Structure 1
Amino acid sequence: MINVTKTFFPPLEEYKEQLQRIWSNEWLTNRGELYQELSQELKKYLGINFIIPMTNGTLPIQIALKALANEGEVITTPFSYVATTSSIVWENCTPVFVDINPEYLTIDETKIEAAITPETTAILATHVFGNPCNVEVINEIAKKYNLKVIYDAAHCFGVTYKNTSIFNYGDVSTCSFHATKLFHTGEGGAVICQDEALNNDIYRRHNFGHSTKTEFEGVGINAKMSELQAAMGLCVLPYMTNIILDRKRICNYYDTNINWDNLNKLKIREHTNWNYSYYPIIFKTEEDCIKVVKKLNKQDIFPRRYFYPSLDTLSYVDATYCPVSNDIASRILCLPLYNNLEEEILNIIIQSI
């Protein structure tokens, strides 16, 4: 079976070595030695000042919204994974959808201002498939209207824009370390802040609100990463160069060998050093997309209609039809992309298309 993605497993002996450290320390969670080491290694690798690894990739969005959005209206994209919108609703905020750019697939920054009302408190935009939003324009809008900016950067591990980590834009960026992601801790995620005071506030919020062992500063929740998760991260991180290079090989093979006469692909924003996290193709029609999915499925190959459906169609949000997002969502397909995917399989996928 060939799925759209496959977890990278580091050598088992290397993971056992990290587990031995946990057993020796007799410490499983609550900012243990491995957690602290992973945090420092991630800051160095990514070129960032602050990071708070957490137990999954959704809690970082929820905590950021709790800290910054104040239960107001949050301008967001309909073209993202459902966690982006569900987190807004979960935190008693109101999602306000703005359509997407048909080439970059990120939120259309030219339409954001028209969606701002006196109730707007934040912008939550997604760097789609690791492709950056127009961060400069969004920053200008946020300053003009005194809004907070949260980026769902779930797909962005290792992405740089204008020679700096994409995580260094906005008030907060969140990332996923889920098992299917480029870098993973089995389950996991992180918050990256630009401001130390905000970083400290979010740290308290992810640890029940503790300011000391016996004092609390505001309401909090439990989003702590365990030592077992940190152990996996420490084993995966040294392989990131090879992981990205092999995924680049596969993307280049698709680029070169797919017949693009009736297809389009994602346009990567200028000045971006991309991470090859996903390989989406866009068909001329939804019928073509479904036809290819069925043909591949018959060969035990399972691409994914990702992102589908457009989030403005969810049952628990106010209807705000976004025609570009709905159109793209109906025609887009992410092809299998993971380390050591053989050219023999790539050729079957390409021929099927």
Structure 2
Amino acid sequence: MCVNSGFINSVASTILHLLIPKVHVTKTYLPDLQKYTELLRKVWNRNYVTNNGPLAIELEQRLAQYLGESHLAWMSNGTIALQIAIDSLNLTGSILTTPFTYVATANSILWQKCTPIFVDIEESGFSIDPKKLDNMIAPDTTGILAVHVYGYPCDVDALASYADLKGLKLIYDASHTFGCEYRGKALAGYGDLATLSFHATKVFHTIEGGGVVSHHKDLAEKIKLSTTHGHKFDDYSQVGTNGKNSELHAGVGLLNLEGFHNVVLGRKNIFDRYLKAFSHTDLFMLDPSSYRDFKYNYAYAPVLFSSEDELLKVVEELNQQNIYPRRYFYPALNTLPYLNPNSCPRAESVSKRMLCLPLYHDLELESVDTVISVVKKYVLCHA
């Protein structure tokens, strides 16, 4: 019997590939299982699992306290947070926003029967460019929905000034920012409202979850009622939806909050290793220290290549080694046909060349160094 050696080598290679642990762009941090089980036992004994139970109330209070804000509504996810924020400010018509973000931002605008108008991003960074707002504003524009991309601050002064000048409401999608501080306060504390995502992929998470930060009691109450179908017990006062979250998710959040500091420190060590390794290459990597009076949470490790071809070669080779970075954010949203497309050259270019590298608190240094080695094979290095 003749056995094809090429076939054997192919099978062996496939088996070896399957045996190598996968390294994804992120890994969910989970709290100590025994501590979580103890919390669950109390939930079971109370037989109270949702509808703003004691753990949900405690988590909401502790999150607000951590951010230094008076009003934070914790809810089921970051997308419902965006929808409720838009609805609570009574936005109609069109909303100025960025094409360089996750699609949930623009989808939420459409879901609220508004039209996204995409404004290109800054030349020096990746957030919406305030200087381009005036060229894009329409007669029916009622708000700005800006994103602190990767957790780095937008030009909050310029955006606030423009919003005030034009009488627009300003919402920040601050999904990436939990733990980030800017000018002595939480980055999620800027704007008329800011929304947060506590999805399992975030630095701090409740498995599924989101939040809205507000600054006025009446608006905070409106937002909270929006998550409970617009009523509290038998008092019905407004339209609402189901944005509640559960005691099981709250328990994860409370325990994750305890370990949050160490998670950030672990991520920082990996981030700094990337930053140092790529400092003498043609790659562009945002450096938190270049932002004045800014504390970063190390949510992402994005690198900008000189060309899409370089990026694709890196991705292909890393995938062969069971390492899976992600193209955050690709494609630029202004190119999607159902999202009111228009030209945003900077965002379109960046989206094709940006790659987020694996980053989590206990990522093995061997894997980090493999990523660095592969990337350096395809980019120009300097002495």
In structure 1, how many angstroms separate the alpha carbons of the residues matched to 2:158 and 2:276? Answer: 33
1:3 to 7, 13, 24: 24
**Over residues 209-250 of structure 1, what are the superposed CA-to-partner deviations in whole Å (9 max), with x where a residue is unaligned?**
11x311222210000011111010011000011011111100
TM-score (norm 2): 0.90
**Could you list the runs of 5+ residues in structure 1 that have no partner in the other structure?**
none
2:277 to 257, 262, 273: 257
Q: Corresponding residue for 1:222? A: 242
Aligned-residue RMSD, C-alpha:
1.1
Q: Is residue 108 from structure 1 mapped to residue 139 from structure 2 by the alignment?
A: no
Report how far residue 267 of structure 1 moved: 5.0
TM-score (norm 1): 0.97
Q: Corresponding residue for 2:186? A: 165
Report how far residue 69 of structure 1 moved: 4.4
Count of aligned residue pairs for this structure pair:
352
In structure 2, how many angstroms separate the alpha carbons of the residues matched to 1:50 and 1:21? Answer: 27
| SS of corresponding position for 2:143 | strand
In structure 2, how many angstroms separate the alpha carbons of the residues matched to 1:197 and 1:260? Answer: 52
**Over residues 290-347 of structure 1, what are the superposed CA-to-partner deviations in whole Å (9 max), with x where a residue is unaligned?**
0000010000000001100000011212221100000000000000000111111111
After the TM superposition, which segments of 4 or more aligned residues of structure 1 sit over 6 Å from their partners? none
2:52 to 28, 31, 43: 31
Give the letter for the 2:261 counterpart: T
In structure 1, how many angstroms separate the alpha carbons of the residues matched to 2:202 and 2:195? Answer: 13
175-184 vs 312-321, which moves further: 312-321
47-56 vs 293-302, which moves further: 47-56
Q: Corresponding residue for 1:319? A: 341
In structure 2, how many angstroms separate the alpha carbons of the residues matched to 1:108 and 1:336? Answer: 28
**Could you list the runs of 5+ residues in structure 2 that have no partner in the other structure?**
1-21, 376-383
Q: Corresponding residue for 2:319? A: 297
The answer to whether the 8 A contact 1:160-1:274 is kept is yes
In structure 1, how many angstroms separate the alpha carbons of the residues matched to 2:341 and 2:260? Answer: 41
2:356 to 331, 334, 340: 334
Instruction: Note closer, same or farther for the CA distance 1:307–1:260 as it changes in structure 2 (3 Å cut).
Output: farther
In structure 2, how many angstroms separate the alpha carbons of the residues matched to 1:331 and 1:52? Answer: 36
Q: Corresponding residue for 1:129? A: 150
In structure 1, how many angstroms separate the alpha carbons of the residues matched to 2:176 and 2:301? Answer: 12
Give the letter for the 1:149 counterpart: L
Report how far residue 260 of structure 1 moved: 3.8
The answer to whether the 8 A contact 1:62-1:87 is kept is yes
- Which structure: larger Rg? 2
Report how far residue 259 of structure 1 moved: 5.6
The answer to whether the 8 A contact 1:60-1:189 is kept is yes
In structure 1, how many angstroms separate the alpha carbons of the residues matched to 2:307 and 2:236? Answer: 55
2:255 to 235, 248, 256: 235
The answer to whether the 8 A contact 2:195-2:211 is kept is yes
**Over residues 244-282 of structure 1, what are the superposed CA-to-partner deviations in whole Å (9 max), with x where a residue is unaligned?**
111110011111123642211125433221110000000
Q: Is residue 207 from structure 1 mapped to residue 231 from structure 2 by the alignment?
A: no
Q: Corresponding residue for 1:288? A: 310
**Over residues 106-156 of structure 1, what are the superposed CA-to-partner deviations in whole Å (9 max), with x where a residue is unaligned?**
000111122222201010000000011111111111111111111101100
The answer to whether the 8 A contact 2:182-2:295 is kept is yes
| SS of corresponding position for 1:225 | coil
Q: Corresponding residue for 1:307? A: 329
In structure 2, how many angstroms separate the alpha carbons of the residues matched to 1:121 and 1:278? Answer: 31
Q: Is residue 266 from structure 1 mapped to residue 266 from structure 2 by the alignment?
A: no
Q: Corresponding residue for 2:218? A: 197
In structure 2, how many angstroms separate the alpha carbons of the residues matched to 1:83 and 1:141? Answer: 24
In structure 1, how many angstroms separate the alpha carbons of the residues matched to 2:207 and 2:68? Answer: 23
Give the letter for the 1:319 counterpart: P
Report how far residue 79 of structure 1 moved: 0.3
Quick one: percent identity of the two aligned structures? Answer: 43
Report how far residue 42 of structure 1 moved: 1.0
Q: Corresponding residue for 1:89? A: 110
